[in-house]
Amino acid sequence: MTNSTSAYERLPTSSDDLDVADPLYPPTPVPAGPSRPHGQGYRHHHKSTASRWISWAFSPSSDRAFTYSQPSANNEPGHGPPYPLHIYKPSQSPLIVIIKYLAGATFGLVILHYVLLGAFPNSPYSTGFNSKSKSGIYYGTDAAGSSSISNYGEAQAAAAELLDRIHPSAGQPGTFFRDSYPLKSMLAFWELAEKEVAARGLDTCNGQLSGPLVDAYHEAEMTYCAPPGHVEAGGNFELVPTDHNGSYSHSHWKPGDSPVPGTAISCSPVHRSLFSRWWPYPAAPCISTNLRTIPGDERKFRAAGCEMTEEGKKLKGEMGNERFLGSDVDHIPLISGDGDESGKNEAECTERIERTLLVIGRQDQWNPFHVAEDLITTLVSSFIALRTAPELLDTRVQLVFVEGYGMDSNHFTALWDRMGAWAPRRLSLDPWKKGTCLTNTIHSVGAGASLLSAMGVGKPYSCASTITWAAAHYYRHLFGLLPPSLARAQQESVSPDDASPAALAAVEAEPDIARRRSGPPSAPSALANLIKRQRPRNPINILWLSRAKLDDYAQKHNDWSNWRDVRHITNEPELIDKLRTGLSEMCKGGNGVKEFGPGGCVFEDAQEVPESWDLISPLTSENAEDGPEGGDQPIPIRFATIDPTVHALETQIHYVGHSTILVSSHGGALGLSLFLPPGGGTILELQVENVQGNYHFQHMAYEMGHQYEVLKIERNVDTEQVWESVRRWVWKRAQAAD
């Protein structure tokens, strides 16, 4: 019987466990084995031994048992060698040790990384990681631009991360928006425009296109017609109160309620004031109360029981053939129950619209310049109405269109639909019903000359207009575009909680920090310098507005004309290529250091990466640690081109609204410059000889505080000429950057 132990018995670990008198303890040296036959090898033996050690190194410690077998009494070999094995833990290969520790450290760092991202999502570490990995995680590409998704499961996981980014308090793509109180918003942006124009010291041509013009309208305000005895009693024009329980909502008038009173109309003619007598044609915006509608008629109304005043009769003569509310109303008596039946029906109300209505007659539905005129004129009429009846400010508004345009061919439906608490009422699609009465109504200045053309499109000038400036602010606001001054203020409002701890520690360590905080406002504070260093550098975005697809469509649909032909650029692809390659070469290999500072510039082709088109950049103007000497980052120079013919209005406004330099040939598309950030853009207009002398877009540029240049070109454009002009403006914008 052998005394060999099982391979899984507990091994002896102390002298108590071992028979120290055993002649085989301590063990004898390993006897030399027989010589190996030729061809069996050491290599095979060594390889199997190495593989066994590797298996042991990566096996659980509980499984690391050694087979221990003693020889039998007659020295016949047992299951193991004729000697006990050493009891020891074999040493591991240094390479294995290194791999184990590196794997453990890497695993720990990965866990720490995700703990930091989850626990401190707003920390500099988390925000920095998210901005760097955005192109790889959010858009599904790695740093090289190739997809980082290898299977559908990973695609699902990456898509699910988008839900984590959506926060109910943040504006998200597709958010529904309507400005329920547009009059209040317009006035707020006008106040901002007044301050911005004054701060820049811009010439307003004595206010001819700004606030004094509205004042001149208001000075001439007069009662056009009123119920009998109202004027003689010294009564002024008053709105119908629509405050229902303090909520300015419907009072839900019903036909059985008290009768609707008679009509009253107040108008503000432009030619009654010496200041505004230069306006090219008679104009008189009006406000009405209790006006009656005419079923099936878009422009005509009925004034019930409204006696014309002497001033009203004079105004109707002064207006001549120009349309205004006075020329569009039929005067009818306010008949009592014993009166004429037909008269009673005309003045009787079966429905009363108690919200404030803004009636607009538009001159165009797709040409951006003409639409811009209508949009600006809408602000003029609203400001005049607010001077007459300031209580309109806190009323909900609905637009009413009276020109017959529908929705299918109106390119600006998406914009108009954002104005007012309710969708605009298009009388061509939703006509008045019999017995519909209006409560408080603003009647816009007639379509025609606007602030952009009132001085004559053939006359150049450089006047700034706070009204046009405010219009740009307001209509950009409808699409979520902040005024640059407010956006900059948000960037600069860095609190100690927002700045990095290391940078704030450096600020607090300055010996004169207390003096700087208590010094005069003009003294630059350390925190202000920190804010400047951490504020992103604004990129310079150059946008080419093309009309190639519009020209192609017109040629194929028999809509070509000489006017289109003389403005058609025959080598537009070469021009676009020159601009793109010129901007790219300008920023290569250290070029542009002179123009853009030590960091130079970096070219970004937004045509290839459209989502990069905005006015912010992850690059900072100066590194907070390095300071202004060596921390300058390159200015992003971006280039894109769009053809408004094939883009939705939202896309057009997005591209123009985030542009710095707008380049295009003379045409209606340049009317989209209304959506450039006021006071900070550059418009470069290309004009062939046949259109020279038209100053539409010069007026737009200067009224909104933009820089402007016109280039005289041939139909086959000199690409070098245009490139040199663009390059010069890019350099100027870089020099003017903060």
DSSP 37-69: PTTS-HHHHHHHHHHHHHHHHTS-GGG------
Residue 434 pLDDT > 90, yes or no? yes
- pTM (predicted TM-score): 0.72
Last residue of a domain, one of 464, 485, 509: 464
Averaged pLDDT for residues 246-252: 52
* Contact between 265 and 325 (Cβ < 8 Å): yes
- Percent of the chain with pLDDT strictly greater than 70: 67
The phi, psi pair for 342, rounded to 5°, reads -65, -40
* Residue 154 included in any domain: no
Q: How confident is the model at residue 310 (pLDDT cuts 50, 70, 90)?
A: very high
Better-predicted residue by pLDDT, 285 or 411: 285
Averaged pLDDT for residues 613-625: 56
The phi, psi pair for 129, rounded to 5°, reads -65, -40
> Is residue 26 reached through a cis peptide bond, with omega within 30 degrees of 0 on the bond before it?
yes
Strands (E), 333-480: 351-360, 397-401, 425-426, 436-443
Shared domain check, 425 and 294: yes
* Residue 379 included in any domain: yes
* Residue 162 included in any domain: no
* Helix H or strand E encompassing 685: strand 682-687
* Lookup: tokens for 325: 């509310």
* Contact between 349 and 435 (Cβ < 8 Å): yes
Burial class (CB in 10 A: 0-12, 13-18, 19+), 56: middle
Residue 438 pLDDT > 80, yes or no? yes
pLDDT at 263: 95
Q: How many CB atoms lie within 10 A of CB 423?
A: 15
Q: How confident is the model at residue 519 (pLDDT cuts 50, 70, 90)?
A: very low
Shared domain check, 547 and 449: no
pLDDT at 573: 95
pLDDT tens figures, 171-212: 555 678 899 999 999 999 999 999 999 999 999 999 999 999
Q: Is 303 left (phi over 0), alpha (psi -120 to 50) or beta?
A: beta
Beta strand 635-642 with 540-545 is parallel
Tell whether the torsion through CA atoms of 382, 388, 390 and 392 is positive or negative. negative
* Residue 394 included in any domain: yes
Averaged pLDDT for residues 280-308: 94
Shared domain check, 677 and 587: yes
**Per mean pLDDT, which range of 234-238, 302-306, 601-605, 662-666 is the poorest?**
234-238
pLDDT tens figures, 558-573: 888 887 888 889 999 9
* Lookup: tokens for 654: 């997005």
Residue 33 pLDDT > 90, yes or no? no
Q: How confident is the model at residue 24 (pLDDT cuts 50, 70, 90)?
A: very low
Burial class (CB in 10 A: 0-12, 13-18, 19+), 643: middle
* Residue 21 included in any domain: no
Among 236, 244, 296, 265, smallest CA distance to 438 is for 265
Q: What counts of helices (H) and strands (E) characterise the chain?
A: 22, 17
Shared domain check, 540 and 423: no
pLDDT at 324: 93
* Contact between 429 and 406 (Cβ < 8 Å): yes
**Per mean pLDDT, which range of 173-177, 481-485, 708-712 is the poorest?**
173-177
Which amino acid does the sequence have at 122?
N
Q: Number of folded domains in the chain?
A: 2
**C-alpha–C-alpha distance, residues 463 and 208, integer Å:** 9
Shared domain check, 542 and 426: no
Determine the Cα angle at 562 with ends 560 and 564, to 5°. Answer: 60
* Residue 508 included in any domain: no
Shared domain check, 458 and 541: no
* Residue 667 included in any domain: yes
Burial class (CB in 10 A: 0-12, 13-18, 19+), 82: middle
What range does the domain containing 419 cover? Answer: 205-242+258-464
Shared domain check, 217 and 358: yes
Last residue of a domain, one of 423, 444, 464: 464
- Across the chain, mean pLDDT equals 77
pLDDT tens figures, 112-167: 877 776 666 656 666 566 555 443 333 344 444 445 566 777 776 766 676 666 55
Q: How confident is the model at residue 618 (pLDDT cuts 50, 70, 90)?
A: low
Shared domain check, 390 and 296: yes
Better-predicted residue by pLDDT, 253 or 251: 253
Bridge partners (DSSP) of residue 141 are 147
Averaged pLDDT for residues 727-738: 85
Averaged pLDDT for residues 322-338: 84
Residues 6 or more apart whose CB falls under 8 angstroms from that of 304 comprise 262, 263, 290, 292, 332, 333, 334, 346, 347
Q: b/e per residue, 5-21, with b = 16+ CB within 10 A?
A: beeeeeeeeeeeeeeee
pLDDT at 162: 63
Reduced to 3 DSSP states, what percent helix, strand and coil does the chain have, rounded to the nearest 5?
40, 10, 50
Shared domain check, 436 and 569: no
Last residue of a domain, one of 464, 494, 524: 464
**C-alpha–C-alpha distance, residues 486 and 496, integer Å:** 20
